[in-house]
Structure 1
Amino acid sequence: MRIDLSGKTALVTASTAGIGLAIAQGLAESGALVVLNGRSQASVDAARQTLLQAVPGASLQGVVADLGDAAGAAQLIKAAPTVDILVNNVGIYGPKPFFDVTDEDWEAYFQTNVMSGVRLSRHYLRGMLAADWGRVVFISSESALNIPADMIHYGFSKTAQLAIARGLAKFAAGTGVTVNSVLPGPTLSDGFRSMLAETAEENGQSIEEAGAEFVQAERPSSILRRPATVDEVANMVVYVCSLQASATTGAALRVDGGVVDSIV
């Protein structure tokens, strides 16, 4: 299968590192013009250079915008008013005991993880429907289904994404626009690597070995028995954005290594 997205413009939010950067690279390799997004000019510039080294000649645009509020979303929309593909990847996470999660914490997770995707989808979906072609993808998480006791606030936000994506898919019924969610499990993103670094050094392990131990201890239902790579997650997203994925919509597609113990 050869995925060709030439002539398409793809926006990937929070695409300066980790899963977002891997998705941006996969879309650029498929020929799309990719709009990179980050919260600082330095991070956007660094991501642009990384992608140009990996994909010489890639068509890239960089937009600095913090999507934690409506003003940031408006700033991004002004800089990139029209896209064919929207990947709602931006998100914050972190463990915190339920009794310590403040109203402000709940609001921050809602604004960044949920409302960012709502705001961007509300704008870009109009153009996609008018063109009768488009792709919207929400990067959710296996935590949307397996709500972590130490990250209830995060799990809630990821479950909300599933509801929005499914509803938007129905809203776009009968058109050439698809809306889906992708649910990664433990993934060797930059943040996860940093979390494992101290343990790996103490035990004389590689990051990959420490990651495998973490998955087997903390996600014992995992069939893969190791974290996914960012590229493995990106591969699913690029496919969902492709012309070939035209019959896949309203789906919650897991790239969780089998962590969610379900046959569907």
Structure 2
Amino acid sequence: MQIDLNGKRALVSGSTGGIGLAIARGLAGAGAEVVVNGRSDERVQQAIAAIRQDCPQARLTGVSADLGSAAGAQQLFAQVAEVDILVNNLGIFEPKGFFEIPDEDWQRFFEVNVMSAVRLSRHYAPKMAARGWGRVLFLSSESGLQIPTEMVHYGMTKTALLAVSRGLAETLAGSGVTVNAVLPGPTRSEGVGDFFESLAQEKGVPVSQLEQDFIRDNRPSSVIGRLATVEEVANMVVYLASPQASATTGASVRVDGGVIRSIA
């Protein structure tokens, strides 16, 4: 299968690191013009430079805007009027016990993880439908189905994205625009890597051992028995963004290493 996204413009929210950066790199490698987004010019330019190392001919645009706010979204819309592929990747996470999560944290997580995706989809998807082709993707998580007790507020936002994704898919039925959610499992992203690195230093053990212990103790249902790589998640997103995925819509597609114990 040869995925060719030449002539398509893609926007990946929160794409200066981790899974978002890998998705931006994958889309650029498939020929798409990619809008890289982050909160600071420095991070955006670093991400663009990193992508160009692998894809020297990549067509890249950088937009620094905090999409966790309505004002930040408007900033982006002023610079990027239309896209063919929208990847709602922006998200934050934080381990914290349920009884220690204050109102402002619940609101912040919902604003960043859910409302950023709602605002971008509301702006770009109608224009895709008017042109008769488009792809909208939401980065949910296995935590949206198996809510982690150590961060219920995060799991709540990922469940919400599944509802938004399915509802939007049905709203756009017959338009030529597909809408899907992608559910990564435990993934060695930048944020997760930093978390394990600091924890490993605290405990005085190698990061690799800590990762293995985490899978054994916290995700024992994992079939692959390891963390996924950001590239493995990005590969699924690139496929779903392609013309070849035209019959896949309204779906929740898992890249979870088999963590979710379900046959459907």
TM over 0.5: yes
Mapping of residues 54-203 of structure 1, within 5 Å = 54-200=54-200
Would the alpha carbon gap of residues 241 and 257 (structure 1) be closer, same or farther in structure 2, given more than 3 Å must change?
A: same
Would the alpha carbon gap of residues 238 and 208 (structure 1) be closer, same or farther in structure 2, given more than 3 Å must change?
A: farther
Query: 2:147 aligns to what SS in structure 1?
Result: coil
Supply the distance in 2 between the matched residues of 1:199 and 1:224 (Cα, whole angstroms): 23
The Cα of 1:208 is off from its aligned counterpart by: 4.0
Supply the distance in 2 between the matched residues of 1:198 and 1:178 (Cα, whole angstroms): 40
Mapping of residues 197-216 of structure 1, within 5 Å = 197-200=197-200, 205=206, 207-216=207-216
Supply the distance in 2 between the matched residues of 1:177 and 1:261 (Cα, whole angstroms): 30
Q: What's the C-alpha RMSD, in Å, of the aligned pairs?
A: 1.2
Task: State whether structure 2 residue 50 is matched by structure 1 residue 53.
Answer: no
Structure 1 unaligned blocks of 5 or more:
none
Supply the distance in 2 between the matched residues of 1:195 and 1:34 (Cα, whole angstroms): 28
The Cα of 1:95 is off from its aligned counterpart by: 1.2
The Cα of 1:209 is off from its aligned counterpart by: 4.3
2:147 maps to amino acid = I
Q: Deviations over 1:23-71 (max 9, x none)?
A: 0000000000000000001100100100111100100000000011100
TM-score by length of 2: 0.97
The Cα of 1:198 is off from its aligned counterpart by: 4.2
Supply the distance in 1 between the matched residues of 2:21 and 2:60 (Cα, whole angstroms): 12
TM-score by length of 1: 0.97
Aligned residue pair count: 263
2:84 maps to amino acid = D
**Which residue in 2 is equivalent to 1:15?**
15
Supply the distance in 2 between the matched residues of 1:200 and 1:157 (Cα, whole angstroms): 28
The Cα of 1:212 is off from its aligned counterpart by: 2.5
